[in-house]
Amino acid sequence: MPLCYMCGQHSSMSSKLVALFLLILLYLALKCHCSTPQSRVQAGYYYMDVGNLISDINSKLFTHLICAFTYVNSSTYHLSINSSTEQQFSTFALTVKIKNPSVTTLLSIWVGREHLPNFFSMINQSSYRNSFVQSSIETARLYGFQGLDLRGVVPTGTSSEMANFGTLLDEWRVAVNSEAKNSSNPELLLVMAGNRLPALGSVIYPIDSMRRNLDWVHVKAYDYYLPGRDRVTYFHAALFGPSNMANTDNGINEWKRRGFLPSKLVLGLPFHGYAWTLLSPQKNPVGAASTGLAVTTDGSVSYNYFKWFIRNYAHEAVSGYNATAVVNYWTFGLIWINYDDVEAIRAKVSYVKQKGLLGYNIFQVRNDDNWVLSKAAAKELDDENQNQKGRLLVIVLVSSSATIVLLLGSVWVMCYLRKRKVKSTGIVLKARKGQEAKVNGIATTGNLNTNVPDLEAYSYADIEMATNKFSFENKLGEGGYGPVYKGVLANKQEIAVKKLSKASTQGFEEFKNEVTLTAKLQHVNLVRVLGFCIEMDEQMLIYEYMPNKSLDFYLFDSDRRFLLDWKKSVHIIEGITQGLLYLQEYSRFTIIHRDLKASNILLDNEMKPKISDFGMAKIFNKDEQEANTGRIMGTYGYVSPEYVKKGLYSTKSDVYSFGVLILQIISGKKNACFYGLNENLILLEYAYDLWKSGKGMEFMDPSLDDTVSSCKLIRCLQIGLLCVQENATDRPSILEVFSMLKSESAALKIPKIPAFSTKENGDEGTKPQFQLENCSINDTTLSQMVAR
């Protein structure tokens, strides 16, 4: 058969296939364009009060609005509404529906702590439960509501009372289903507000019943710490925090651990904060002593009132945002307020998406200021919806187009191969195989169970051009990994390029470790990696550029040292503390840096510190305490004694390194020299001797003046000495260090003789009992430290 005839047949067949796939492409594209991603709940409580204008609600920002509150009559167990607001309750659903028919309205039933005994008494009797259930359904239908919400029930009382509560939910759901079937009305939604933790002590919610019968549970993710109750300040709605402090993430994880589906959990967003009166002025008074509430009778401050108060009375207030806890705060004299502003709200809605939760629920919508917070929350979800639609459309277009191209290409290849046989050499594949394997190795590393986010694989040509061919003029410095260059990309973005030295003891595993860790651990006090380059057998890391270089650039230079006054030094110490807090307490895993030192603390244009160089970092699960290694890595003067002598490392290893850093910051002294009258004391011994003899100020850099600062030099000296004690168990945790630095009134323990002391065995003349190999006294990374 002639070749041209065969090709013609293939061509005709391919034309039909192309036509078919074009139709499929058009169908999928239209379907993608018209479909919407899985909808999330954007709910909000509307607290009914006399004079409220329901029509003022910006209903387009919500999918559900919850009208609050009705109450349970203690005699009849029927729902009751205050006579002063009954008229507004009766028109709420209709008013919302006229303005926005797509919004679902729910009626909320309040069962506060003061009403819990009556509620538990009710659910103990079958007839009482039936009265309550029937009354709730009738009231919702009477006023046109499409669902019922129960608020205020916490896992307290006894286990039998929680079992009765489960029975109530079972009966409630059956009654709702039956009413809908008999009346031909849509089923009422059944939801409830849940406590942050599903269990308090030995008492736990009836999880199975809740999972079966409720459409969702909105977790009350706020009011953890209150000025009217607690005498030490803390964030009332922290998203993240240490395990011993109430925070939302721990609560959500506990709900999941108890078997409740994330897709049935809704996150509570507070549009209010709390005002505390401090015992004394504090720069950042988290964990500070308080005399009680401020501003209002219970300390609670709505977001709109707070904004009004600032505009009219507190123009000079100091505000800030804690990216670790995801909370805003504000200080004015002795008043400290913590609350959620736009940054915190968007971060929490982003958390909803990341955790796969059903949505969010605002308490309460009337507290908003010109709908600023509601718009921020809605926009965060809207961005997700738009991205999902765009990604789906692109996938359909690309995959369908690729199929057509492959079909056409296969026909052409068949004809071409019949004309001429070509022997493939596979040179291109082999040339790229090694590089591709390394890229995949980076992208699929399982340390944090997710792929590296938003990293760019830069070409060698781009980096070479950015650094002016790695010119000497662009060189910023050189460490144990290799030289670091400043670069400017084609889009004018400034970068720092860390290039692996041929003589470096670090290899691809350390390179991959740093890429994955630095990319995934996002915090304002951790340096941000932008991408990497592994072309031309190079291993280069691309970072955000830090214009003020590293901390050691200032600490150990007699002229530049004066640029670090005590205010800046405190700011740097606090920033490093925040970074370590995130690594050890707030991230999903526990990260041990293992090479914390002055040259690895970079400073941005505002002198804000950022921890860098995660090539030696190790990841622990939260339940792991320590690990052992036969390969000792670190830097002389910063490594802990248990790591040197036994190869053991833990979070206390980084605490030790941080203690050394504190002593260097307050003194301006290197740790690779000897001090004292006879110049026979290492830095830690010298600091300890002066502190113990009451001459601690002789240790300090004379240029530092703490007169007007609440953070005192002597206190920092004592904290530093506590961190460098010989035994890891004696050292404080980084959370305890944070509390010590923040609370000037808290008593400090007496530090023991520091590690590597020549006096620890009573021998004043001996040198420390370990040998260093492959190291110098110039802050050099060790390849091995061997104990004797």
Per-residue DSSP letters for 241-282? --TTS--HHHHHHHHHHTT--GGGEEEEEESEEEEEEESS--
Among the residue ranges 38-42, 287-291, 305-309, 406-410, the one predicted with the least confidence is: 406-410
Residue 238 has pLDDT above 80, yes or no: yes
Structure tokens at 160: 């039998």
pLDDT for the residue numbered 3:
40
Residue 31 has pLDDT above 80, yes or no: no
- Dihedral, CA of residue 232, residue 233, residue 238 and residue 244, to nearest 10: -20
Among the residue ranges 41-55, 68-82, 409-423, 613-627, the one predicted with the least confidence is: 409-423
Cα-trace Rg, the chain: 32
How many whole angstroms separate alpha carbon 89 and alpha carbon 107?
Answer: 9
In this structure, the number of other CB atoms found within 10 A of the CB of residue 426 comes to: 9
pLDDT band at residue 291 using 50, 70 and 90 as cut-offs? very high
Among the residue ranges 386-400, 447-461, 761-775, the one predicted with the least confidence is: 761-775
Residue 679 has pLDDT above 60, yes or no: yes
Residue 98 has pLDDT above 90, yes or no: no
Residue 701 has pLDDT above 60, yes or no: yes
Return mean pLDDT, the chain: 81
Cα angle: 574, vertex 577, 581; to 5 degrees: 140
CB 286 within 8 A of CB 272: no
Mean pLDDT of 548-561: 89
pLDDT for the residue numbered 270:
97
Structure tokens at 195: 């406590």
Residue with tokens 């609050």: 68
Residue 470 has pLDDT above 80, yes or no: yes
Residue 721 has pLDDT above 70, yes or no: yes
Query: What b/e sequence results for 725-738 when a residue is b if at least 16 CB atoms lie within 10 Å of its CB, and e otherwise?
Result: bbebeebbbbbbbb
Structure tokens at 271: 């549009």
Mean pLDDT of 479-504: 82
pLDDT for the residue numbered 7:
45
pTM of the predicted structure, to 2 decimals: 0.53
Express each pLDDT in 175-186 by its tens digit. Answer: 999 999 998 889
In this structure, the number of other CB atoms found within 10 A of the CB of residue 414 comes to: 12
Structure tokens at 397: 């277009």
Mean pLDDT of 296-323: 83
* Residue closest to 342 by CA, chosen among 329, 355, 352, 328: 328
Question: Which structural domains are found in the chain, ordered by start?
Answer: 41-377 (3.20.20.80), 456-544 (3.30.200.20), 552-787 (1.10.510.10)
How many whole angstroms separate alpha carbon 378 and alpha carbon 362?
Answer: 11
Catalytic positions:
595
More confident residue, 542 or 455: 542
Roughly how many angstroms between the first and final C-alpha of the chain, as a whole number? Answer: 86
What is the phi/psi pair of residue 441, to 5°?
-65, -35
Residue 317 has pLDDT above 80, yes or no: no
Residue 453 has pLDDT above 90, yes or no: no
Residue 17 has pLDDT above 80, yes or no: no
Express each pLDDT in 595-632 by its tens digit. Answer: 899 989 999 999 999 998 887 888 876 555 566 654 55
Express each pLDDT in 521-536 by its tens digit. Answer: 778 899 888 888 888 8
pLDDT for the residue numbered 450:
45
